[in-house]
Structure 1
């Protein structure tokens, strides 16, 4: 199985973005592979079978999905027609600041983080299918991204980032309008809570809300809150803060980053609030903690 590296696709690692249009030929098999960057796949036309996380899905025109790093997947082309797809490859650093603004949109969090996470649920269909005007608008954006990267005229980095952000906002809006508000539970309540705990551990710096996570589990907020505390012995906020402060401690011990930057990276927008939470958890302020570790 192949692992594709960022250096194979991004000529400028300070601007980790690449878009290509690829044709899956009739009957072609693209072996199982993974990559160390994020990939957004959009099906322009045709059909192919996509295998991912041990499950297979038939792709159609308008299908779009996001593959986070280290996810193995493969394709098999249809026997009677070719399939044309856009592959948008990028690393999260490309939109570091913009992602924080996008994460304020609940449906973006759902589509970009929760939807990929839910692939382990056999009842969850991992592709969003655009149609009508949404499909036309999105294809126009992709065509612009493709042209800008190929022509590389003055300011093309700015155009690419702007258009790509528009793509993310459009997808969030479409996802919000077409998602199933009542997911079919495929897990027991305990399995759902365990899955949410894993999600928080992976994305502790993202502003997930109780409403989002309870809806994900098909529970009311009071029910989710009670079951989460029964499972972890902590409230959702306490559990998340524990992970954030633990990561902040690691960064203070192993990097020379400013404390304000560390607070921001682990998910605290308010520096004074970070100081209060840190002191409550660790018993001393962040700077004193960092200095104490340097004494050894």
Structure 2
């Protein structure tokens, strides 16, 4: 009797990464499970929305927004999706950062690099799963959006910019590995925060209040107000304005809608308030931003 051997699929760098760039960024929407596979490039995954399980080298991690995963060359991993999952993939050949990494086979091989030397002693056995919460999560998402915009636009010097951003991204990853959220009095809030931020981002255009979040989370408005200030460094209202203005900026740059209609669509019925907050946040009026296109 002959036994058939099911060979694990290996994704090849040439199919996903342009060889003259050595880095690629993708925004993906996963609705079905991804079977176990491996690849000959480095893969970073940031979960932007949804929930599920990510298995790396036989170890399973529950993931949601704010979770960051590192898969090196030869690592085996798979996705099990519970809710529609949106995530960003950053793929790169190891020599994109340094020629010293051309034969790397474990995450820890990054640490002897001069760039990351200071992390070496405290991270003898780096985890492939890193959790970002609170203000650190917001800062990470801004960095990832900046990287994605740079990669898509491909303006002069974009590879040099992406090299710097990738270095910053890995340094933040190693730093967060060192950080222990269990010491925080607000550790429950940290883990609840991604769902609340996603709720705001789905309802920001309407009249959304702390009472709405309280009904959604079963915590008091007072506790949520404290959570926003201590976890993110700014208030609930400031975060709602930030989400609205980021969307307004995107619409100004990507659509031909009038400034007034854009203001209304992101939640500002008062045109004066929209103009004031926009200039306060971006240092220019909506019209001035459009003229820079």
Q: TM-score, normalised by structure 2?
A: 0.52
Match of 1:114 in 2: 125
Structure 2 contact 116–171 (Cα < 8 Å) conserved? no
- Distance in 1 between the 2:160 and 2:121 partners? 21
Match of 2:11 in 1: 4
Q: RMSD between aligned alpha carbons?
A: 2.5
- Provide closer, same or farther for how the CA distance between residues 156 and 84 of structure 1 changes in structure 2, counting only shifts above 3 A: same
Match of 1:15 in 2: 21
- Provide closer, same or farther for how the CA distance between residues 14 and 67 of structure 1 changes in structure 2, counting only shifts above 3 A: same
Match of 2:164 among 162, 165, 171: 162
3-state secondary structure, aligned to 1:143: helix
3-state secondary structure, aligned to 1:103: helix
- Distance in 2 between the 1:171 and 1:108 partners? 15
Q: Once the 2 structures are TM-superposed, how far is the Cα of residue 82 of structure 1 from its aligned partner?
A: 1.0
3-state secondary structure, aligned to 1:88: strand
Following superposition of structure 1 onto structure 2, how do residues 117-132 of structure 1 map, counting pairs within 5 Å? Answer: 126-132=128-134
- Distance in 1 between the 2:121 and 2:89 partners? 20
Match of 1:101 in 2: 114
- Provide closer, same or farther for how the CA distance between residues 165 and 83 of structure 1 changes in structure 2, counting only shifts above 3 A: same
- Provide closer, same or farther for how the CA distance between residues 58 and 23 of structure 1 changes in structure 2, counting only shifts above 3 A: same
- Distance in 2 between the 1:109 and 1:101 partners? 15
Match of 1:175 in 2: 177
Match of 2:149 in 1: 147
Greater shift in the superposed pair: 42-51 or 129-138: 42-51
Match of 1:84 in 2: 86
- Distance in 1 between the 2:132 and 2:76 partners? 24
What is the CA deviation profile of residues 172-204 of structure 1, one whole-angstrom value per residue up to 9, with x for unaligned ones? Answer: 2222222899xxxxxxxxxxxxxxxxxxxxxxx
- Provide closer, same or farther for how the CA distance between residues 178 and 56 of structure 1 changes in structure 2, counting only shifts above 3 A: same
Consecutive unaligned residues of structure 1, counting only runs of 5 or more, are 117-125, 182-296
Consecutive unaligned residues of structure 2, counting only runs of 5 or more, are 1-7, 101-109, 184-293
- Provide closer, same or farther for how the CA distance between residues 96 and 177 of structure 1 changes in structure 2, counting only shifts above 3 A: same
- Distance in 1 between the 2:131 and 2:121 partners? 16
- Provide closer, same or farther for how the CA distance between residues 55 and 166 of structure 1 changes in structure 2, counting only shifts above 3 A: closer
What is the CA deviation profile of residues 19-69 of structure 1, one whole-angstrom value per residue up to 9, with x for unaligned ones? Answer: 1111111xx121111100111111112101222322322211111121111
- Distance in 1 between the 2:122 and 2:73 partners? 17
Q: Once the 2 structures are TM-superposed, how far is the Cα of residue 101 of structure 1 from its aligned partner?
A: 2.3
Structure 2 contact 48–88 (Cα < 8 Å) conserved? yes
Match of 1:48 among 48, 52, 67: 52
- Distance in 2 between the 1:61 and 1:67 partners? 18
- Distance in 1 between the 2:173 and 2:65 partners? 16
